[in-house]
A and B are shown apart, each in its own frame.
Chain A
């Protein structure tokens, strides 16, 4: 079973700054089956990135994903006020379980 860890736990930044979030897997994630989700308080998660680097429909290009194997990164190039939220990575390889990371909270400095 693949275990995902995310760092940092909390990232305190100002609007306009760059955010770099890390997701590390305990085993190789096959075919880069790694996704990122954004969740705001009281809302359901929203798919941002799939296949490690492909943006989902309607996601602004300030969000980008990279990485392969066991190390993946979500980058938000310039934080907008609406980007302050919790971000989860998830692996969805060929077989279950399809685990999530513990999340990184991006809050306003």
Chain B
């Protein structure tokens, strides 16, 4: 059974750095073709892809946010960490992590976490 769960602060101040952790089970990021992505969704708005990390430690970032994002993994803990620097109120959103089994379905997100709402406010 595949599960993912996001964790991190619910509230951050402007200019602070956000650190989110995705803890997953039911698959391994050391398996060839397995990846994890982060996606966010501002309240009432559309989904926005942020970043992806692959089993071989390849990393990909949103063009518009890549200077602020860092994605990393701890395979032994089944965790993926996303950091976003210089947070702004426009970054208020629900942040999701999702599994990406490249060799099964291509780059789609087949399992999602429940999401964590992050509010940026002073």
Residues of A near any B CB (own CB < 8 A) = 1, 31, 33, 35, 37, 39, 44-47, 50-51, 56, 88, 90, 92-93, 95-103
Query: In the complex, A93→B107 CA distance in Å?
Result: 7
Binding site secondary structure of chain B: loop
- 30 A-B contacts (beta carbon < 8 Å): A31-B106, A35-B108, A35-B109, A37-B109, A44-B112, A44-B113, A45-B47, A45-B109, A45-B112, A47-B105, A47-B108, A47-B109, A50-B105, A50-B108, A51-B105, A88-B47, A90-B47, A90-B109, A92-B108, A93-B107, A96-B52, A96-B61, A96-B63, A97-B60, A97-B63, A98-B49, A98-B52, A98-B107, A99-B49, A101-B46
| Chain B residues, Cβ within 8 Å of A101 | 46
Query: In the complex, A27→B115 CA distance in Å?
Result: 31
Extra contacts besides A35-B108, A44-B114 (9): CB < 8 Å: A1-B63, A47-B105, A90-B108, A92-B107, A93-B107, A98-B37, A99-B49, A100-B47, A101-B46
Contact present for B46 and A100 (CB under 8 Å)? yes
Binding site secondary structure of chain A: loop
| Chain B residues, Cβ within 8 Å of A96 | 49, 52, 60-63
Query: In the complex, A51→B105 CA distance in Å?
Result: 8
| Chain A residues, Cβ within 8 Å of B112 | 44-46
B23, chain A: closest CB distance, angstroms:
15
A7, chain B: closest CB distance, angstroms:
14
A-B interface contact total, Cβ < 8 Å: 65
Contact present for A51 and B106 (CB under 8 Å)? yes
Contact present for A102 and B107 (CB under 8 Å)? no
Query: In the complex, A35→B96 CA distance in Å?
Result: 17
| Chain B residues, Cβ within 8 Å of A92 | 106-108
A103, chain B: closest CB distance, angstroms:
5
| Chain B residues, Cβ within 8 Å of A95 | 60
A91, chain B: closest CB distance, angstroms:
9
Chain B positions 39 through 75: 1 when the CB is less than 8 Å from some CB of chain A, otherwise 0: 1000000111100100000001111000000000000
